[in-house]
Amino acid sequence: MSATLRKPAATSWRMSRDRFLDSRAIWPLLIGAAALYLLLFVGYPVVYNVVMSAQKVTLANLRFFNRPFVGLDNYRTLLDDPLFGLVLRNTLAFVAANVALQFLFGFGLALYFQLSFPASSFLRGLVLTGWMLPPLVIGAIWKWLLASDNGALNYLLQSLGLVSGKIYWLSDPSLSLIGVTIANIWFGVPFNMILLSAGLAGIPDDIYEAASLDGAGRVRRFLHLTLPLLRPTVYALLALSTIYTMRAFDLIYTMTHGGPLDSSNIFPLWSYRLSFELFNFGGGAAISTTMLVVVMAVAFFYVRSVRAERPQ
Amino acid sequence: MSGQVAALARPAVAERSVSSRLRLRDIRPWLLCLGGVLIASVYLFPVYWMVVSALKGANELNASVPTLYPHAPTLTAFRWIFERENVGRYLENSAIISTSVTVLTLVLAIGCAYALARVRSFWMDALVVAIMASQVLPPPLLVTPMFVIFRQLGLVNTQLAVILATTTKTLPFAIIMLRTTFAQIPIELEEAARVDGCPRLGAFFRVTLPLARTGTIVVGALTFLFAYGEFVYPLSLVNRRDLQPGPVGLYSFVGADYSDWGNALAFATVFVAPVIVIFMLFQRRIVSGLTAGALK
């Protein structure tokens, strides 16, 4: 008796559950969790960073919210800092050299592995290994390769007769930025290669066939077909690799710590050192707020290129 | 006479050039393959150098003329780092943190990515753009506010802080990639299941998710790898050595003026081994996933 009574109740509960799971109401719920998470742990820190950059933040008032506002003082202090010019020059040189050279090497490799030969995609995959390695491991390896005593690169250059003495790659202020740039280029090349390979693979073969029937040579096909068709990929890639150059923080922190004499210091590292070594959290926040604005501008460019590329 | 010779010689020359061109065409792919092997070897030399340096004894490592391979291979450095430096603890912490980040990321990302793949509207597009933008925020620029916030929450010096912070880096990436994966599964399959009385969400779990299994596993693997390599967040949110993961442990070997390269590279080798294994297992899929994730 009771069993026959309970059964319809259970069925109707199941039906309403199924109706709920089938309704449009589930979409906001599915999105909500992740969106809330990102709002809380990305959106809030970004906003909080802007607020902190206008406050006097010390170790003493770190746990409170009502800190004294100082307007743009943190920014002004940084502009007056004698380090500012040096770090700006370092950052611009580092980003420009990395983005340009990673792209050139990556493009060269992508074109090479695009040729048809046995094991081409396997070998390309092997090269990608470099990009999967933890940055700290790459920093360790390159610090050892570039070591002035017993470093493999110095030995190679000496035995080829290219240099006579030791090169102090990481401890000579005029060379340290070049040292970390070499390591970071090695790190970034595979990513450039793989995105450009994908772009090249997306160009249909019959376009090339038609062009060569029309008498276009290899060089002309490259300049007038490959490059224009690849343009959206190239834009997206240049934007992404500009942003990813910020990740070089890990490499520089491991290899030189920004030194010697700040010769390899760049903005993300300076921001970190202001906050966590000098406990000038306001100054650190001012730099990262400025950098975030730059990153968002580049990201806007990236998103636009990617959406332009999508066929729809 | 000379004209005759020329007439006789010409076909022979032509023949030879045809046959040599034919031969060149035959061996061209193999020459290119050789070139490819050469490129890959030069590129991967630093990784090779890490492993062989870790296997050398102290004398061989610091010899003025380096040896290309260890003439007297030894595991001394490996034994030392586990017995004296207790690096097992770093690896354990890395495993705990990266696994937690992967689970949290997938739990949050799967539902969100599915909704973004199936619902088309202006707001969904705007959300995708916002997520893509948050994908590119570099940890070194977010770590200052992150530290202050976690300090106010009393979470500094816990692995939970590291897990929550690292997930901000992996979650946007996972959502973007899974969205592409789910969008590739034909919606008709779900609709067929719904006609048979299965609710929409049930159809997703019973039909779409199993079909997108491989893609989801790859996203999980990449999430794990990214979390495994994260350095800035554990470095600044935790200052207790017994809670630190591998990258911070490795930093204690190579940062500053620590100069025992044998030990440092032995730990680097041990720490990176799982990365290389995971990458080799999923190589092909990771390659296609990375390109799709960045460009779609």
Mutate to test the interface with B, among A41, A51, A114, A242 (most CBs of B within 10 A): A41
A150 touches chain B (CB under 8 A): yes
pLDDT band at B40 (very low <50, low <70, confident <90, very high): very high
| Cα separation, A193 vs A104, whole angstroms | 9
Give the contacts of B179 (CB within 8 A, at least 6 positions apart): B113, B114, B116, B117, B128
pLDDT value at A132 more than 60: yes
Q: Please indicate whether, in this complex, the C-beta atoms of B229 and A276 are within 8 angstroms of each other.
A: no
Question: Chain B residues with CB inside 8 Å of A114's CB?
Answer: none
Residue B140: cis peptide before it, omega within 30 degrees of 0: no
- Closest in B50, B61, B200 to A141, CB measured: B50
Q: Report phi then psi at B244, rounded to 5.
A: -75, 145
Residue whose entry in the numeric block shows the structure tokens 């730990």: B267
Q: Is A259 helix (H, G, I), strand (E, B) or coil?
A: coil
ipTM of the complex: 0.85
CB B138 within 8 A of CB A252: no
Q: Is A217 helix (H, G, I), strand (E, B) or coil?
A: coil
Question: Chain B residues with CB inside 8 Å of A300's CB?
Answer: 133
pLDDT at res. A224:
84
pLDDT at res. B232:
93
Question: Chain A residues with CB inside 8 Å of B171's CB?
Answer: 34, 37-38
Question: Chain A residues with CB inside 8 Å of B146's CB?
Answer: 41, 45
Please compute the mean of the pLDDT values over residues B187-192 and round it to a whole number: 82
pLDDT value at B111 more than 80: yes
B138 touches chain A (CB under 8 A): yes
Mutate to test the interface with B, among A115, A126, A171, A233 (most CBs of B within 10 A): A126
Q: Please indicate whether, in this complex, the C-beta atoms of A49 and B284 are within 8 angstroms of each other.
A: no
Give the contacts of A255 (CB within 8 A, at least 6 positions apart): A139, A142, A143, A146, A170, A179, A180, A183, A264
| Cα separation, B58 vs B261, whole angstroms | 9
Question: Chain A residues with CB inside 8 Å of B246's CB?
Answer: 134, 136
Q: Judged by CB atoms within 8 Å, which residues 230-249 of A form the interface with B?
A: 233, 236, 240, 243-244, 246-247, 249
pLDDT at res. B1:
40
How many Cβ atoms from other residues are within 10 Å of residue A166's Cβ? 15
A262 touches chain B (CB under 8 A): no
Q: Please indicate whether, in this complex, the C-beta atoms of B148 and A296 are within 8 angstroms of each other.
A: no
Please write the tens of the pLDDT for every residue from B44-67: 999 999 999 999 988 888 887 888
Q: Please indicate whether, in this complex, the C-beta atoms of A285 and B144 are within 8 angstroms of each other.
A: yes
CB B223 within 8 A of CB B106: yes
What global pTM score does this model have? 0.86
Mutate to test the interface with B, among A122, A136, A185, A292 (most CBs of B within 10 A): A136
pLDDT value at B290 more than 70: no
Q: Report which of B145, B205, B74 is spatially closest to residue A26, judged by C-alpha positions.
A: B205
Q: Please indicate whether, in this complex, the C-beta atoms of A272 and B168 are within 8 angstroms of each other.
A: no
Q: Report which of A190, A193, A201, A198 is spatially closest to residue A128, judged by C-alpha positions.
A: A190
pLDDT at res. B44:
94
Q: What are the beta bridge partners of residue A55?
A: A69
pLDDT at res. B4:
44
B14 touches chain A (CB under 8 A): no
According to the per-residue pLDDT averaged within each range, which of A26-35, B136-145, B166-175, B205-214 is highest?
B166-175
Distant-in-sequence contacts of A212-215, Cβ < 8 A, 24+ apart: none
- Closest in A18, A27, A132 to B275, CB measured: A132
pLDDT at res. A89:
95
Render chain B in DSSP notation, one character per residue.
-HHHHHHHHHHHHHHHHHHHHHHHHHHHHHHHHHHHHHHHHHHHHHHHHHHHHHHS-HHHHT-SS--SS-SS---HHHHHHHHTS-THHHHHHHHHHHHHHHHHHHHHHHHHHHHHHH--SHHHHHHHHHHHHHHT--HHHHHHHHHHHHHHTT-TTSHHHHHHHHHHHHHHHHHHHHHHHHHTS-HHHHHHHHHTT--HHHHIIIIIHHHTHHHHHHHHHHHHHHHHH--HHHHHH---GGG--HHHHHHHHHSTT---HHHHHHHHHHHHHHHHHHHHHHHHHHHHHHHHHHH-
pLDDT at res. B167:
95
Mutate to test the interface with B, among A38, A170, A240 (most CBs of B within 10 A): A38
- Closest in A250, A281, A310 to B144, CB measured: A281
pLDDT value at A10 more than 70: no
Higher-confidence residue of A46 and B188: namely: A46
Please compute the mean of the pLDDT values over residues B88-116 and round it to a whole number: 94
Please compute the mean of the pLDDT values over residues B130-152 and round it to a whole number: 84
CB B134 within 8 A of CB A42: yes
A299 touches chain B (CB under 8 A): yes
pLDDT band at B3 (very low <50, low <70, confident <90, very high): very low
pLDDT at res. B96:
96
Q: Please indicate whether, in this complex, the C-beta atoms of B111 and A133 are within 8 angstroms of each other.
A: no
Question: Exposure pattern of A14-29 as b/e (b: 16+ CB <10 Å)?
Answer: eeeebeebbeeebbee
Distant-in-sequence contacts of B125-128, Cβ < 8 A, 24+ apart: B127/A31, B127/A35, B128/B176, B128/B179
Query: B126: nearest CA in chain A?
Result: A303
pLDDT at res. B273:
93
CB A204 within 8 A of CB A118: no
Question: Chain B residues with CB inside 8 Å of A275's CB?
Answer: 143-144, 147
pLDDT at res. A129:
87
Please compute the mean of the pLDDT values over residues B237-248 and round it to a whole number: 91
Q: Please indicate whether, in this complex, the C-beta atoms of B50 and A52 are within 8 angstroms of each other.
A: no
Average pLDDT, chain B: 84
A40 touches chain B (CB under 8 A): no
pLDDT band at B16 (very low <50, low <70, confident <90, very high): low
- Closest in B44, B165, B200 to A21, CB measured: B200
Where residue A163 falls (left for φ over 0; alpha for ψ -120 to 50; beta otherwise) is beta
* Nearest chain A Cα distance for residue B145, angstroms: 5
Looking at residue A68, the DSSP 8-state letter turns out to be P
Alpha-helical (H) ranges within chain A are 2-22, 26-38, 44-52, 73-80, 83-114, 120-132, 135-145, 152-159, 176-201, 205-213, 218-221, 227-244, 248-255, 267-276, 281-309
pLDDT band at A248 (very low <50, low <70, confident <90, very high): confident
Question: Chain B residues with CB inside 8 Å of A254's CB?
Answer: 251, 254-255
pLDDT at res. A214:
81
Q: Which amino acid is at B173?
A: F
* Nearest chain A Cα distance for residue B258, angstroms: 11
Please write the tens of the pLDDT for every residue from A150-169: 888 888 988 888 888 888 88
Cα–Cα distances in Å, from B142 out to A288, A291, B4, B266? 7, 10, 84, 32
| Cα separation, B234 vs B250, whole angstroms | 12
* Nearest chain B Cα distance for residue A224, angstroms: 23
pLDDT value at A4 more than 50: no
pLDDT value at A292 more than 80: yes
pLDDT value at A205 more than 70: yes
| Cα separation, A179 vs A94, whole angstroms | 11
- Closest in B119, B175, B202 to A21, CB measured: B202
Question: Chain B residues with CB inside 8 Å of A147's CB?
Answer: 261
pLDDT value at A84 more than 90: yes
B232 touches chain A (CB under 8 A): yes
CB A90 within 8 A of CB A176: no
pLDDT value at A57 more than 60: yes
pLDDT at res. A212:
80
- Closest in B46, B250, B295 to A306, CB measured: B295
Q: How many residues does chain B have?
A: 296
pLDDT at res. B9:
45
Question: Chain A residues with CB inside 8 Å of B200's CB?
Answer: 21-23, 26
Q: What are the beta bridge partners of residue A130?
A: none
pLDDT at res. A100:
96
